[in-house]
Amino acid sequence: MKKRPGFSVLFTSILMVLSAVSATWAEDNKVDVSLTYDDDGTYYVNMPYLRDKLIIGTLTLTANDLSSYADPSTGEILFKVYDDGGKSGTYNPYPTSVLQIIVPEGYVLTLNGQVKMESLPYAYLNVYDAAERSDDALIAENLNSGNIGPYVSSGNALTLYFTAYNEGDDWDGLDLTVGVHQTHAITVNTLVAGGVVSGMTSAYENQ
């Protein structure tokens, strides 16, 4: 008579299968996104959406992209970020979406705007100062209502995490503005005992 596998062996096998499926889903649920031109003369991107599953969208802008997106009169590089419902719609049921925004080295990102969604803890936006979600990079959490920012990245990437347990219905969701700014070196003079020490750091124009 054939022996049934022990519980621990069976449980381990199930975990291995589930882990493989989860890894596949995680890989499959990554998408590249791009900016779209709006009739009002701005560019925008919507948060990606996949019902009941985490989806990760990556917006990568090259130096050539930035030159084409710059305002011809001011040189500013600004674009909008909306939830999956877009500029005028409401977000779909149960979104759990990530948007990674990556620009070339030597640039930083700014983020501000408005969020309007159902009450905490059912819906919120987190902002990370990196190209990934990690506790160390978290710079704003549980943003849920009203004006937010401005937040400034320390490097060339920001990550947005948006989740809601229900559909938007009467909620506008996300209406955010991202700015891309080239940094330049500045000299900071620090007073110390016996003299002045000069150190180099960086900032962007109008900071």
| Residue 117 scores a pLDDT above 60 | yes
| Residue 127 scores a pLDDT above 90 | yes
pLDDT at 137: 95
Contacts of 173 (CB under 8 A, 6+ apart): 82, 83, 85, 90, 91, 115, 116, 117, 162
Confidence of residue 92 (pLDDT cuts 50, 70, 90): confident
> In angstroms, rounded to a whole number, what is the distance separating the alpha carbons of residues 175 and 170?
14
Other CB atoms within 10 Å distance of the CB of residue 91: 28
Residue scoring higher pLDDT (54 or 8): 54
* Structure tokens belonging to residue 205: 């124009």
What mean pLDDT is predicted for residues 54-58? 95
CA dihedral (58, 131, 36, 177) positive or negative: positive
Candidate ranges 91-100, 113-122, 126-135, 168-177; pick with highest mean pLDDT = 126-135
pLDDT at 91: 86
Other CB atoms within 10 Å distance of the CB of residue 148: 18
The pLDDT tens digits of the residues spanning 186-198 come to 555 555 555 555 4
The pLDDT tens digits of the residues spanning 21-47 come to 333 345 568 999 999 999 998 999 999
Residue scoring higher pLDDT (169 or 111): 111
